[in-house]
């Protein structure tokens, strides 16, 4: 007797007992409701029993793939249920006998090897499919009486496929495309992948057309270990190497809240993006450059409405700074790589959006609403000024909004001007040595004229005159001269004035919009040269390896500076001085959770003048400005 029938009999006995107790017309309605509920419970129990039996006899179609990755060859051993011959190869039982044809089963087993070779793709880092060879087919033993319909799940088939390559692969991408026509549930492939030399396999459950990428380190092969610290050290090393990108099939969101802007960076696999928008590709396996350009417009439409961001309680539209297409090479993230075709299977799209904040915001919120059957969760890193937070958005959560409030608003002090005070006495340079030599020359000349026989005095006079002319620019003394209209600035005061002006130049670039930068520069720069200096300084902050993006200034180190010699005097009509200095400028650009830092060295000469009783820089001439080397490091979070 089946479990469902036994349960049904017990339920009916229970119903009879309840019926005997429910007597009287006043319980009629109540009795009817109870009996109805009992009958429904009995039917449910029998249905559940039948469903359980059906599920046990007909589980989902699952292919088990054991993959061994060596330095020269990849070996894939597949285990399939024979029912796949019916689902995927079209083998059907005869209606007359209710059994399968043995010859058709054997032929289907061989044909299925070709099917697996075609539908399971093993790709290199560029998305090119490796050529595989079926080296072994292990069928199943067919009993003499044959196999009845619905019994193929009791038998399994085995296949071995090998792939060869010249160099040990850094990346392997696997995609399965086993989809049967009319099948309600897709075939799933359980992958157990092991790298040669490693004791730790990787396990993935793969659905059709959702590729998975695996990375291999052949220099530091991870060995099995019970020492947690050893594993943590290895994982940290791998994470640093991969710049924080831990999975090649996941969607990542990096959300930046800075003093200049709010920025959102989304890194999404092309395969996942295709579940939100239609992606056109002539080849079907690769996206050419022109196809990438055409896709950008669709991406902008998608993200213009998705994942709304509010700043200070106002919804802000994104400005698209960059939409880049990446392969698997992590160096594509470190330096902006040359544009090229990318694989549909393992390529990724990076979308960088900025939101105007008008300075350091008070409160910011972002909502992630891009979910479907493929993108079920999104790992998000939030950079809150100097703090870092990790969170996750999920389709299974009711609230997918992240909110930040500025506990200590940063109200930066305005850039102040530098007053030009003229409280020094008036001085004039007195060339005492030249005058003394010239007096000696006159004396020698006069005495030579009185004594015609002594021509040697003429020669002495000429030599003294030449010496006086040579000493005039170099040897002098400053004397108080109230009649002079020239003024002097002390070297120490010039140092102090220029240090403040130089600091103000780069403080102006802390502001987020161009007009605020201009206003900041105007406090230390003559208005006529504002645009010229803005463009000159702005250009020096650009990092071409990051698409010409302007770096954020993190440090300005003034190394050396001096008042230019023989230019410490200036006219009272337009007082000023010339100053030359050397400094280091440290700038950073951060994308995808990793920082690009460059230190540039500068040597420049500045003209400084007192305009409307304020010191202003009127010109800047770069003597030397070699580009520093960009260093890349990942964030610790």
pLDDT at 509: 73
Backbone angles phi, psi at 257, to 5 degrees: -120, 105
Q: At what angle do helices 3-21 and 28-57 cross, to 10 degrees?
A: 170
Q: How far apart are CA 189 and CA 61, in angstroms?
A: 9
Backbone angles phi, psi at 546, to 5 degrees: -115, 35
DSSP output for 574-603: S-EEEEEEEEEEEEEEEETTEEEEEEEEEE
Q: How far apart are CA 342 and CA 281, in angstroms?
A: 11
Would you list the domain boundaries of the chain? Answer: 3-57, 62-227, 252-405, 432-475, 489-634
Q: What is the pTM of this model?
A: 0.57
Backbone angles phi, psi at 30, to 5 degrees: -60, -40
CB atoms within 10 A of CB 217: 16
CB atoms within 10 A of CB 500: 15
Q: How far apart are CA 610 and CA 615, in angstroms?
A: 4
Long-range contacts, stretch 197-202, CB < 8 angstroms, 24+ apart:
197/221, 197/223, 198/222, 198/223, 198/224, 199/223, 199/224, 200/224
CA distances from 154 to 63, 111, 184, 188 (A): 14, 20, 21, 18
Q: Which helix (H) or strand (E) holds 6?
A: helix 3-21
Q: How far apart are CA 246 and CA 250, in angstroms?
A: 9
Residue ranges with strand state E in 184-284? 188-195, 202-206, 212-215, 252-257, 262-269
Q: How far apart are CA 634 and CA 244, in angstroms?
A: 7
Edge-to-edge order in the sheet of strand 120-123: 120-123, 171-176, 212-215
Q: Which helix (H) or strand (E) holds 546?
A: none
CB atoms within 10 A of CB 455: 9
DSSP output for 361-392: -SEEEEE-----SS--EEEEEEEETTEEEEEE
b (16+ CB within 10 A) / e for 238-275: eeeebbbbeebbebbbbbbbbebbbbbbbbbbbbbbeb
Measured between alpha carbons, how far apart are the two ends of the chain, in Å? Answer: 60
- Indicate if the alpha-carbon torsion angle 457, 458, 462, 468 is positive or negative: positive
- Single out the residue of 55, 51, 37, 63 nearest to residue 117, CA to CA: 63
pLDDT at 550: 56
> What is the number of helices (H) and of strands (E) in the chain?
13, 33
Q: How far apart are CA 457 and CA 441, in angstroms?
A: 9
CATH architecture of 489-634: Roll (3.10)
Question: Which parts of the chain have pLDDT scores under 50?
Answer: 1-59, 184, 225-228, 231, 243-244, 246, 334, 423, 545, 548
Backbone angles phi, psi at 363, to 5 degrees: -145, 145
> What is the total residue count of the chain?
637
CB 275 within 8 A of CB 253: no
Backbone angles phi, psi at 236, to 5 degrees: -60, -40
pLDDT at 314: 92
Q: At what angle do helices 456-471 and 432-450 cross, to 10 degrees?
A: 170
């Amino acid at each position: 007797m089946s479990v469902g029938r036994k349960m049904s009999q017990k339920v009916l006995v229970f119903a009879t007992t309840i019926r005997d107790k429910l007597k009287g017309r006043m319980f009629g309605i109540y009795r009817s409701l109870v009996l109805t509920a009992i009958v429904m419970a009995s039917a449910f129990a029998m249905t559940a029993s039948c469903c359980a039996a059906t599920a046990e006899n007909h589980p989902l179609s699952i292919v088990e793939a054991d993959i061994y990755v060596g330095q020269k060859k990849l070996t894939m051993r597949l285990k399939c249920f024979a029912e796949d011959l019916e689902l995927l190869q079209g083998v059907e039982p005869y209606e007359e006998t209710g059994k399968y044809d043995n010859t058709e089963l054997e032929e289907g087993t061989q044909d299925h090897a070709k099917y697996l070779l075609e539908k399971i793709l093993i790709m290199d880092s560029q998305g090119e499919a490796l050529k595989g060879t079926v080296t072994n087919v292990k069928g199943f033993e067919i009993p003499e009486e044959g196999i009845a319909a619905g019994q193929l799940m009791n038998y399994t088939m085995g296949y071995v496929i090998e792939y060869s390559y010249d160099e040990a692969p850094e990346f392997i991408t696997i995609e399965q495309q086993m989809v049967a026509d009319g099948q309600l549930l897709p075939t799933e492939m359980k992958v157990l992948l092991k790298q040669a030399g490693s004791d730790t396999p990787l396990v993935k459950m793969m659905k059709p057309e959702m590729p998975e990428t695996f990375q291999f380190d052949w220099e530091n092969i991870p060995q099995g270990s019970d020492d947690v610290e050893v594993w943590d050290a290895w994982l940290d090393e791998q994470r640093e190497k991969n710049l924080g990108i831990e999975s090649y099939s996941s969607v990542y969101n990096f959300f930046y809240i800075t003093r200049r802007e709010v920025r959102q960076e989304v890194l999404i696999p092309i395969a996942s993006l295709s579940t939100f928008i239609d992606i056109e590709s002539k080849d079907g396996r690769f996206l050419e450059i022109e196809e990438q350009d055409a896709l950008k417009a669709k991406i902008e439409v998608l993200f213009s409405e998705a994942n709304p961001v509010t700043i200070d309680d106002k919804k802000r539209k994104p400005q698209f700074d960059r939409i880049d297409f990446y392969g698997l090479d992590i160096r594509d993230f470190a330096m902006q790589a040359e544009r090229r075709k990318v694989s549909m299977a393992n390529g990724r799209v990076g979308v960088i959006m900025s939101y105007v904040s008008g300075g350091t915001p008070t409160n910011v919120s972002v909502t992630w609403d891009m979910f479907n059957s493929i993108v079920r969760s999104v790992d998000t890193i939030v950079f809150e000024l100097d703090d870092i937070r990790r969170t996750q958005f999920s389709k299974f959560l009711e609230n997918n909004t992240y909110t930040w409030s500025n506990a200590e608003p940063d109200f930066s002090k305005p850039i102040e001007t530098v007053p030009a005070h003229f409280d020094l006495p008036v001085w004039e340079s007195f060339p005492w040595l030249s005058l003394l030599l010239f007096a000696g020359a006159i004396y020698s000349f006069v005495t030579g004229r009185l004594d015609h026989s002594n021509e040697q005095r003429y020669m002495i006079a000429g030599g003294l005159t030449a010496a006086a002319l040579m000493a005039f620019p170099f040897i002098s003394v400053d004397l108080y001269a109230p009649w002079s209209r020239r003024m002097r600035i002390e070297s120490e005061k010039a140092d102090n004035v220029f240090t403040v002006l130089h600091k103000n130049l780069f403080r102006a670039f802390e502001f987020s919009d161009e007009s605020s930068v201009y206003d900041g520069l105007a406090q230390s720069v003559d208005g006529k040269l504002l645009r010229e200096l803005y463009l000159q300084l702005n250009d020096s902050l650009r990092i071409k390896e990051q698409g010409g993006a302007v770096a954020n200034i993190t440090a300005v180190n003034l190394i050396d500076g001096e008042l230019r010699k023989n230019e410490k005097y200036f006219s009272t009509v337009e007082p000023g001085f010339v100053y030359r200095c050397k400094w280091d400028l440290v700038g950073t650009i951060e994308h995808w959770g990793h920082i690009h830092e460059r230190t540039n060295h500068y040597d420049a000469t500045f003209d400084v003048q007192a305009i409307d009783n304020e010191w202003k820089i009127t010109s800047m001439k770069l003597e030397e400005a070699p580009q520093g080397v960009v260093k890349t490091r990942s964030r610790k979070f």
